Amino acid sequence: MEKPSLDEQQIEEIDILVSEAMAFNKELKFKLFKEGVAEDLIGTVQYLNYEQHKLHVKDHHDQTVYITMNDIIGVAYND
């Protein structure tokens, strides 16, 4: 399976959602593409590392998961 490509508008929407979720401590549902497989991750963004292009996300098990921004193919609020 090939990784879906995102256009500039989709990337901007993801950036806005992540920024808002960080500001208001809202939970997000990430759609990630890793090694040819799409997977979901639900959690709250704790830190945005611009230098390494990674998000630090706290999941439901209170574990910190490091997401490479390039692996993100979709984001939505987890309402």
Q: Give the CATH number for residue 24.
A: 2.30.30.100
Which of 48, 39, 40 is CA-nearest to residue 66?
A: 48
Domain hosting 38: range is 8-77
pLDDT tens digits for range 55-66: 999 999 999 999
Residue 40 lies in a domain: yes
User: Which pLDDT score is estimated for 73?
Assistant: 96
CA distances from 58 to 9, 26, 29, 45, 53 (A): 26, 11, 12, 6, 17
Q: Whole-angstrom Cα distance, residue 67 to residue 10?
A: 18
User: Which pLDDT score is estimated for 48?
Assistant: 93
Residue 36 lies in a domain: yes
Residue 65 lies in a domain: yes
Residue 2 lies in a domain: no
Residue 15 lies in a domain: yes
Q: State pTM to two decimals.
A: 0.91
pLDDT tens digits for range 3-47: 889 999 999 999 999 999 999 999 999 999 998 999 999 999 999
How many whole angstroms from its chain centre is CA 58?
A: 11
Number of domains in the chain: 1
